[in-house]
């Protein structure tokens, strides 16, 4: 049997990869995809606990996480289209309109 | 033993494709590797007796969200991808801190004592499958279900409102 701790370690490692992606990359698309990586890491954690506690609550929560991720991806991409239309660049360190 | 080997394969491919995803120069390549990642996460869900969630993951994440990303990436194609620096100035610090956090969590979990006997039986849990998920969604978790539908409506209307061209008379 696969121990529960293995799933938690995998979820933590995947979450960390997502965090490093958000903090390091300049391209806005890679940052958004790293956010999706983090959400998937949380999903793995939830489903693992749902299996090991013999409860369906974890899977219900995962359905809602996937739903929110879909809505967030749609709105975030609409905002990126606007930024590309108005600012002309897709690199986050060039969004410096608020810098003093 | 067999399930451990399968889990090991899924885990290695998931982590490898995740690291490859965040290091590609071309966002289209990143999306392709994320597709492989989502397939393997769905495989993990099947291993955890969550077949409905595996199907939902493939249909929604791999089949809708990634396609949306792909369309927008291809629409906003940037020519500077081949020469622009990929990461900002602090990426070694971020990678180091990330490694530190991951090692800390893995150490904590490996030293902790999980009740190995909890729920590790091979028997099917009391309620699995789409029917039982549906019963829960419509009885116990009805309010979050309705709120999720409102979230989707807001996302739909918001995305259209934000991205449409304004027609000034």
The beta strand positions in B31-92, using DSSP E, are: none
Among the listed residues A36, A13, A39, A66, the one whose alpha carbon sits nearest the alpha carbon of residue B107: A13
Domains and CATH numbers, chain A: 4-92 (1.10.287.3510)
How many Å apart are CA B143 and CA B162, to the nearest integer?
28
- CB pair distance less than 8 Å for A75 and B155: yes
Position B125 scores a pLDDT of 54
Between chain A and chain B, the number of residue pairs with CB atoms below 8 A apart is 228
Q: What is the ipTM of this complex?
A: 0.91
Question: Which residue of chain A is at minimal alpha-carbon distance from B22?
Answer: A21
Q: Which residues does chain B have within 8 Å of residue A53's beta carbon, measured at their own beta carbons?
A: 118-119
* Chain B: closest CA distance from residue A73 (Å): 7
User: What is the tens place of the pLDDT at every residue in A41-50?
Assistant: 999 999 999 9
For residue B139 the two structure tokens come to 């009885």
* Chain A: closest CA distance from residue B168 (Å): 17
Which residues 6+ apart lie within 8 Å of B9 measured at CB?
Answer: none
List the domain boundaries for chain B.
1-78, 127-169
How many Å apart are CA B1 and CA A80, to the nearest integer?
46
To test the contact with chain B by mutation, choose from A41, A69, A77 the residue with the greatest count of B C-beta atoms within 10 A, namely: A77
Q: Which residues does chain B have within 8 Å of residue A34's beta carbon, measured at their own beta carbons?
A: 21-22
- Please report the residues numbered 119 through 138 in chain B whose beta carbons come closer than 8 angstroms to any beta carbon of chain A: 119-120, 125-128, 132-133, 136-137
How many Å apart are CA A50 and CA A1, to the nearest integer?
16
Q: Which residues does chain B have within 8 Å of residue A60's beta carbon, measured at their own beta carbons?
A: 133, 136-137, 141, 144
How many Å apart are CA B15 and CA B4, to the nearest integer?
16
- For tokens 């369906």, the residue is A56
Q: Exposure pattern of A41-78 as b/e (b: 16+ CB <10 Å)?
A: bbbbbbbbbbbbebbbebbbbbbbebbebbbbbbbbbb
Question: Which residue of chain A is at minimal alpha-carbon distance from B131?
Answer: A56
pTM: 0.90
Q: Which helix (H) or strand (E) holds A68?
A: helix A57-86
Position B122 scores a pLDDT of 46
B105 in contact with A, Cβ within 8 Å = yes
Residue B168: pLDDT band by 50, 70, 90 thresholds?
low
Has domain B1-78 been given CATH number 3.90.950.10? no
What pairs with residue A25 in β-bridges?
Answer: B87
What pairs with residue B151 in β-bridges?
Answer: none
B32 in contact with A, Cβ within 8 Å = no
User: What is the tens place of the pLDDT at every residue in A2-41?
Assistant: 888 889 999 999 999 999 999 999 889 999 999 999 999 9
Which residues 6+ apart lie within 8 Å of B11 measured at CB?
Answer: A6, A10
User: What is the tens place of the pLDDT at every residue in B119-162?
Assistant: 455 445 555 678 888 888 899 999 999 999 999 999 999 999 98
Q: Is B152 exposed, middle or buried (0-12, 13-18, 19+ CB in 10 A)?
A: middle
């Amino acid at each position: 049997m696969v121990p529960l701790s293995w799933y938690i370690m995998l979820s933590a490692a995947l979450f960390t990869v997502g965090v490093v992606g958000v903090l390091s990359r300049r391209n806005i698309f890679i940052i958004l995809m790293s956010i999706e990586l983090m959400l998937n890491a949380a999903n793995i954690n939830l489903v693992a606990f749902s299996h090991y506690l013999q409860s369906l609550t974890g899977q219900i929560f995962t359905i809602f996480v996937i739903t929110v991720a879909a809505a967030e991806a749609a709105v975030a991409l609409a905002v990126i289209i606007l930024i590309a239309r108005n600012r002309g660049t897709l690199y986050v360190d060039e969004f410096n309109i608020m810098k003093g | 033993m067999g399930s451990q080997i399968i889990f090991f394969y899924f885990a290695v491919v998931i982590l490898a494709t995740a690291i490859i995803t965040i290091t590609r120069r071309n966002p289209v390549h990143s999306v392709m590797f994320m597709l492989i990642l989502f397939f393997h996460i769905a495989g993990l869900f099947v291993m955890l007796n969550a077949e409905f969630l595996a199907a939902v993951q493939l249909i929604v994440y791999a089949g809708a969200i990634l396609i949306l990303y792909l369309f927008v990436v291809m629409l906003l194609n940037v020519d500077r991808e081949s020469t622009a620096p990929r990461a900002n100035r602090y990426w070694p610090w971020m990678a180091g801190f990330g490694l530190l956090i991951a090692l800390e969590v893995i150490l904590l979990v490996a030293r902790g004592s999980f009740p190995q006997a909890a729920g590790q039986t091979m028997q099917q849990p009391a309620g699995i499958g789409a029917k039982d998920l549906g019963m829960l969604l419509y009885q116990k978790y009805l309010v979050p279900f309705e709120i999720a539908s409102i979230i989707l409506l807001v996302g739909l209307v918001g995305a259209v409102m934000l991205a449409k061209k304004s027609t000034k008379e």
